[in-house]
Amino acid sequence: MSSRSTEFGLLVNLRNPCDPAVVMSELFDAETSKLSKPCSRQQIMITKSFCAVRFLLLAACWFGAVDGANAVADSDVQVTFYAMGDVPYAPGEDVLLPKQIEDLPGDAEFVIHVGDIKRGLPLCAEGVYTKVAGILGKSAAPVFIIPGDNEWNDCLNPDQAWTYWDRHFMKFDERWQHRLSVSRQKIREENFAFVKNGVLFVGLNIVGGRVHDEQEWKLRHAGDLDWVKSNLQRFGTEISSLVIFGHAKPAKVHNDFFDPFSKVAEDCRKPVLYLHGDGHKWIYDRPFKAKNILRVEVDQGGIAPPLKVMVTDHPTKPFEFDRRNGKKAS
């Protein structure tokens, strides 16, 4: 059976050269010379016309029935980036992370670290921030980073820890000469946004861990929501999808952000990805009321390489993932 025929699900007998499918194969594979039984010119002309119509109908049905994942695979990639989080935690990861940075593929347009540059210990020495900034700074592609709870609100002295984070990671991408037009929220400069090839990327300071200051927590979440809204108002008509970077695995303490965010996402009627760390294990689901939001939690950086993320031009399923460890990414 012809491989081209099986591609369209046709059960045909190629030993009968006057079968319409054989003439269809002739049209595409130049098999005319291989025919074992001659056909009249009239038979050939009639059959070719019939096959052309049949082929178009079959092709339309086949493409219409194709699975969404396969449709995504046929879409054009707009942006390729790599994501990591919750690393380095252990001494061995101080060796692993530089290797991961060195081995990043050349198709990386940028890298995002979604927070937690250390284990959840209350002592937060500045040397840790210096060390990780030095490792990430060796990336060939620009690196963006957002805060995690381990290096900020879970520290014994959150204010001092924030001073360290600000000193070593604020506007971290500016260490590279890149062409991304990055804007930052005036009241919280760690929150960033940029558009690349029709995709809006937004980084937010939304962390897990303990609520160290209830008023600060609520004000920060309100600011995060305003930042998302303002960028959708600014770029909404020119983008095809939205990617939100945060650290926190959604929990009840984040409802004051995620509940209204879900409504904003639903109203924008475009595919949205919320990409985060915090939980250390791969998650791929749609837990929000707005089902156009896909949530992905990255593997902890010590057990998996940086996640490859490809944003395509597919209208409903634009996000593709490669965990680069042989494990399923959906």
Using a pLDDT cut of 70, give the percent of the chain over it: 78
pLDDT digits (tens, 9 = 90+) for 275-297: 999 999 999 999 999 999 999 99
Least confident of 35-49, 157-171, 253-267: 35-49
In this predicted structure, the answer to whether residue 301 has a pLDDT above a threshold of 80 is yes
The reported pLDDT for the residue numbered 42 is: 52
The reported pLDDT for the residue numbered 330 is: 84
pLDDT digits (tens, 9 = 90+) for 174-221: 999 999 999 999 999 999 999 999 999 999 999 999 999 999 999 999
With bands split at pLDDT 50, 70 and 90, how would you rate the model's confidence at 75?
Answer: confident
Pick from 256, 317, 306: nearest CA to 277: 306
Give, in order, the Cα–Cα distances in Å from 298 to each of 86, 102, 269, 295: 9, 20, 25, 10
- Domain 70-322 carries which CATH code? 3.60.21.10
**pTM for the predicted model, two decimal places:** 0.79
Distance CA 173, CA 180 (A): 10
CATH 3.60.21.10-classified regions of the chain: 70-322
With bands split at pLDDT 50, 70 and 90, how would you rate the model's confidence at 40?
Answer: low
- With left for phi above 0 and alpha for psi between -120 and 50, is residue 198 left, alpha or beta? left
